[in-house]
Amino acid sequence: MSQTFQKSRFFLLHPEVNAGKVERLESLHREYVAYVRICVQAMIDGRRLNLARSEKQAFFPCSETLTSQIEKNARDHAIQVVSTWAKSRYTLRVKGVISKAKRDGEVSPEQAKALYTIGKYLRDQPGRGITQDDIDLYWKFLDERGGRKPEISDTLPMRLTEMTARLEDPKEASIGDFWLRVSSLEARKSIWLPLVGSPYITKADQVSKGILVRKTKKGFWRFEVVEKREWVVPEPKDLPSHAPRLGVDVGLNILAATSDGDLYGASFKPRFDRLYKRVRDLRANRMRQGFRDNSPRLDALESKLSGMIKTETGRIANNLVQRHPGTVFVLEDLDLRGCRGQKRFAYRALYRALSSKAPVEVVNPAYTSQECPSCGYISRSNRSGTSFSCRSCGRKAHADWVGASGILRRSEDKSIGCGDHPSSVKATLQRRFLVKRNSPARSLLAPSPLGRSLTTEVLVQSGIGTGSNLVSASPP
């Protein structure tokens, strides 16, 4: 499966940049902003919500200072400002005004339909069921009830396409990491700006075409680009059958435990749980009070939570992939368990992060956390908090590791399918446990309470092998 990665990165001007160049960049920016402002005003005055490509040339006044390519960038920018504004005005205000007018009988249902179409699709010209009257009425609503018109601040960033700004790799005797060539106000004369930058970008072709040039509040110039990468993650079935496998359990105590005994995200889990609880309580509270939409505070908390989990699961996934190259990661299929809340949330994030980097296989998770890795006895009471202690053979282990090793065994278990019902999984496991207990091979085992002595040979010989040789090590 092909994966793409996109991330915003930015560069800064090299501190030793020539002051004359900065001056030229400043004046370019000033003219750009002034022209975008003129174009936005032209659209508002002309009662346009959007413009087709074919209309642009005739519609906008010409710029007196910008070169034709930058003029084009500024026009597109203005159209985008106005259409974004118009869309948000429609959703937040005008839509409600139309609905109310319809309820009050001020507009007919047919006219309301036309008005909705104008707002939703930014159709600002008569035709196809929309009359000039509809457009006039829409603009009346927009003028009276739509709130403020779009405003262009002096710090509006310049949106430059590949035609007007191009990142170039450094040449010899260069002072920066990259050069940015920007068209200037003078035709055919570029400004060459030395940039220092993002440690993630080493070659100019790692970034997508087009660049956003922004002057920050503190007066720094920032050059924003999008880093793009594409790579292929092999499917588990495309790998050799002997490819190593690693079970990963998304735990309730820690974020991720592996079948070889590593625990990840232990310190993160309490922080995550606290924030998760706050979000959940706040949401429940608003539901009780009958609010349907999120409050800004809830929105902020939710995005903080998802940012937190994304960062942490990304980190863990990177770690796992680095430590286990060429490995198939085995995770539980959460859709089978129907579990909710934190675990589901954390699982989804980890699954997404891991599967974008390495082959991932999902297995039926039924009873993986309750099954003894040594004797196969299953019971809920085998497990208590973070500790696992088998009620049948006395095997002790970290509960999260037991889960991870159970998941790994499941991936090699031909008799338990992903779609099997938990009750049939339980029956299979119980049958297997009884066969094993009554097997004469059992007497050959040393009676260690830790169960380390259970070796695969015995299982394989008795014909019920589950590949548990891979779980013969205890977690550290």
Residue ranges binding Zn ion (CB under 5 A): 372, 374-375, 377, 390, 392-393, 395
By beta-carbon proximity to Zn ion, the closer residue of 50 and 392 is: 392
By beta-carbon proximity to Zn ion, the closer residue of 229 and 431 is: 431
Quote the least distance from Cβ 422 to Zn ion, whole Å. 20
Work out whether the CA dihedral 203, 204, 206, 207 comes out positive or negative.
positive
Do the beta carbons of residue 153 and residue 81 sit within 8 Å?
no
Tokens of 196: 């220092």
Quote the least distance from Cβ 286 to Zn ion, whole Å. 47
Quote the least distance from Cβ 375 to Zn ion, whole Å. 3
**In whole angstroms, what is the distance from residue 264 CA to residue 278 CA?**
23
Do the beta carbons of residue 254 and residue 265 sit within 8 Å?
yes
Q: In degrees, to the nearest 5, what angle opens at C-alpha 295 toward C-alphas 94 and 287?
A: 105
By beta-carbon proximity to Zn ion, the closer residue of 161 and 430 is: 430
Quote the least distance from Cβ 454 to Zn ion, whole Å. 9
Among 97, 143, 144, 140, CA closest to 116 = 97
Quote the least distance from Cβ 293 to Zn ion, whole Å. 52
By beta-carbon proximity to Zn ion, the closer residue of 320 and 390 is: 390
Radius of gyration of the chain (CA): 31
Quote the least distance from Cβ 392 to Zn ion, whole Å. 5
By beta-carbon proximity to Zn ion, the closer residue of 207 and 454 is: 454
* DSSP, res 216: -
By beta-carbon proximity to Zn ion, the closer residue of 268 and 377 is: 377
Q: What burial letters (b/e) apply to 221-238, b meaning 16+ CB within 10 Å?
A: bebbbeeeeeeeeeebee
**In whole angstroms, what is the distance from residue 245 CA to residue 330 CA?**
7
By beta-carbon proximity to Zn ion, the closer residue of 115 and 390 is: 390
Quote the least distance from Cβ 332 to Zn ion, whole Å. 21
Q: Outline where DSSP puts E strands in 233-308.
A: 245-250, 256-258, 263-264
Quote the least distance from Cβ 395 to Zn ion, whole Å. 4
Quote the least distance from Cβ 428 to Zn ion, whole Å. 17
Helix (H) or strand (E) holding 388: strand 387-389
Quote the least distance from Cβ 393 to Zn ion, whole Å. 3
Quote the least distance from Cβ 460 to Zn ion, whole Å. 19
Among 124, 43, 130, 114, CA closest to 81 = 43
* Residues 51/52/58/64 CA torsion (nearest 10 deg): 60
* 31 half-sphere exposure, CB direction, 13 A CA radius: 20
For 7, other C-beta atoms within 10 Å of its C-beta total 12
By beta-carbon proximity to Zn ion, the closer residue of 202 and 379 is: 379
Do the beta carbons of residue 83 and residue 50 sit within 8 Å?
yes
Helix (H) or strand (E) holding 402: helix 399-411
Quote the least distance from Cβ 437 to Zn ion, whole Å. 10
By beta-carbon proximity to Zn ion, the closer residue of 360 and 372 is: 372
By beta-carbon proximity to Zn ion, the closer residue of 146 and 376 is: 376
Residue whose token pair is 């793009």: 228
By beta-carbon proximity to Zn ion, the closer residue of 164 and 259 is: 259
Do the beta carbons of residue 158 and residue 32 sit within 8 Å?
yes
By beta-carbon proximity to Zn ion, the closer residue of 277 and 431 is: 431
Q: What burial letters (b/e) apply to 99-115, b meaning 16+ CB within 10 Å?
A: eebbeeeebeeebbbbb
DSSP 60-86: SPPPSSS-HHHHHHHHHHHHHHHHHHH
* 324 half-sphere exposure, CB direction, 13 A CA radius: 24
